[in-house]
Amino acid sequence: MKTFNVAIIGCGNVGGGAAKILLETAPELKKRTGGKEIRIKKIITLHPRRQAKKHGLPLELFCADKTAITRAQSDAFIKEILSAPDIDLVIETVGGSSNRLHALHKNILKSGKHLVTANKAILARHGRDIFEYAKAQNKSVGFEGAVCGAIPLIKVVRDSFTGDLIQSVAGIVNGTSNFILSRMNEKGSTFEDALKLAQKSGYAELDPTMDIDGTDAANKLKILIQLIYGVAATRQNFPVKGIEKISKEDFMVAKSLHSSIKLIAFAVKTDNKVWACVQPALISSKDYLYNVNGATNAVKIEAKYSGRHLFVGQGAGSVETGSAVVSDIVFIAKHGYIKNVSEPAGPAGGRLADFNNYPASYLLIIKTKDRPGVIGAVGTAIGDVGINIENIAQSVISGDDWFLPVEVSKCTAARLEKAVALIKKRKPRLISDYKYLPIFKA
């Protein structure tokens, strides 16, 4: 009986979940690998007893029977694993995107072990490099868990859309922000109240910055566009906006337009340009994404031949993301290294076009005081920069403030900024605040 031995570095939510599944489903997994038993040889974590207890894992699988070990001790255990000839694969579920961790990834591969990780931050930053390094070592990198947790996006994009041309991807890829926005939509909550509830219910961390400012969604999208289009994102071409500034009044405006507001990770290829952004967008009630609420993730893919696809599932969670990690382990245990199978499909080297020049339909929301002539001033300025207005909907009134919603035809964000600048120049006190949301048509 052959075994396939794995070690786990980092036993937080995802690592613990993967370990749990590996133990609980061992007989099933053995059938799926063609008879090889996947065995956990060692779990390295700074807090062995706590993590063992938390995930219901036998303490003897852990590096030490201790409450805590030092970083130096942890490093020594890692070194031990890397030099152990009987370990076939290492699962990195530490998290972070440090150069130190990137070096660890390389060391794992260099020591002749396959690598499985769910770490989106480091793959967004160093993905291309690590895939090339792995290829040179004839080792596989599994990263199904890195994008949208349990939704099998990576394998689908890599192996299933190869008979088609993906034209666009639009997804709700961050559960925390979607939970907050869903709450604001359903209950009319303020952002602050919805965030507090998310933290209380375990859907947001104490420091929720990366979730609500769009960074986490951007990391996932960066991995996807590398995979699909082979392009890298640069900061200035790839606008990343969060949800911190979305107000309950914005939701009142959205509701009056039979729509909701969702944080959307979006990429599209037109002619030979690839554009991408992460930002709150207006989603019509007729769109599949409209009904995706709470911590659920969903990704809509449009392809030239096969048309519209939707993938919905749990984008986070211990065993949820753990199941994606285990699917990678099973694939590698079954097949070993398959040349190019874990590589990005797209050609290397491209760059994103600047999204500020991408023509989209927008909803411009202008915060103002009620005063005569505002619609005239706004409408004239927008017309003067060459943008067509589709619809000026009824204003939402909140205290002294009026929120004027203006839907405009396809134009660039750059041009929209020009219109706002022109209004401000002509009527300096008219706009007390403004924002614009791309409108994704169903």
| Site residues (CB under 8 A) for a copy of itself, limited to 9-28 | 17-18, 21, 25, 28
Contact 244, 213 (CB under 8 A): yes
- Binding residue for a copy of itself, selected from 155, 196, 415, 424, defined by CB under 8 A: 155
Answer yes or no whether residue 291 interacts with a copy of itself by CB under 8 A: yes
CA angle 403, 405, 408 (to 5 degrees): 155
Stretch that binds a copy of itself, among 50-58, 300-308, 349-357, 390-398 (CB under 8 A): 300-308
Q: Looking at beta carbons only, is 55 or 102 nearer to a copy of itself? A: 55
What spatial distance separates the first Cα and last Cα of the chain, rounded to whole Å? 53
Answer yes or no whether residue 170 interacts with a copy of itself by CB under 8 A: no
Q: How far is the CB of 259 from a copy of itself (least distance, A)?
A: 16
The partner residues of 297 in beta bridges, in order of sequence, read: 313
What is the spatial distance between Cα 224 and Cα 166, in angstroms, rounded to a whole number?
Answer: 11
What is the spatial distance between Cα 417 and Cα 168, in angstroms, rounded to a whole number?
Answer: 25
Binding mask 365-384 for a copy of itself (x = CB under 8 A): --------------------
Q: How far is the CB of 325 from a copy of itself (least distance, A)?
A: 7
Q: Are strands 389-392 and 231-232 parallel, antiparallel or unpaired?
A: unpaired
Q: Looking at beta carbons only, is 20 or 41 nearer to a copy of itself? A: 20
What is the spatial distance between Cα 64 and Cα 46, in angstroms, rounded to a whole number?
Answer: 9
Contact 406, 376 (CB under 8 A): no
Residue 348: partners with Cβ closer than 8 Å, 6 or more residues away: 128, 230
Contact 280, 243 (CB under 8 A): yes
Binding mask 33-72 for a copy of itself (x = CB under 8 A): -x--------------------------------------
Residue 52: partners with Cβ closer than 8 Å, 6 or more residues away: 58, 59, 61, 62
Contact 36, 4 (CB under 8 A): yes
Could you tell me how many residues of this chain bind a copy of itself (CB under 8 A)? 57
Q: Looking at beta carbons only, is 2 or 31 nearer to a copy of itself? A: 31
Answer yes or no whether residue 152 interacts with a copy of itself by CB under 8 A: yes
User: 211 to each of 22, 269, 291, 420, how far by Cα in Å?
Assistant: 29, 26, 20, 29
Q: How far is the CB of 139 from a copy of itself (least distance, A)?
A: 17
Residue 235 DSSP class:
T
Q: Is 171 helix (H, G, I), strand (E, B) or coil?
A: strand
| Candidates 220, 269, 367, 435; catalytic one | 220
| Site residues (CB under 8 A) for a copy of itself, limited to 307-346 | 307-314, 317, 319-320, 322-331, 334-335, 338-341, 345
41 is catalytic: no
Q: Looking at beta carbons only, is 304 or 410 nearer to a copy of itself? A: 304
Answer yes or no whether residue 410 interacts with a copy of itself by CB under 8 A: no
Q: Looking at beta carbons only, is 210 or 341 nearer to a copy of itself? A: 341
Answer yes or no whether residue 272 interacts with a copy of itself by CB under 8 A: no
CA angle 144, 148, 152 (to 5 degrees): 45
Q: Are strands 433-440 and 273-284 parallel, antiparallel or unpaired?
A: parallel
Q: Looking at beta carbons only, is 329 or 430 nearer to a copy of itself? A: 329
Q: How far is the CB of 14 from a copy of itself (least distance, A)?
A: 12
| Site residues (CB under 8 A) for a copy of itself, limited to 116-145 | 144
CA angle 119, 121, 126 (to 5 degrees): 95
Q: Catalytic site residues? A: 220
Contact residues for a copy of itself (CB under 8 A)? 17-18, 21, 25, 28-29, 31-32, 34, 144, 149-152, 155-156, 159-165, 288, 291, 303, 305-314, 317, 319-320, 322-331, 334-335, 338-341, 345, 347
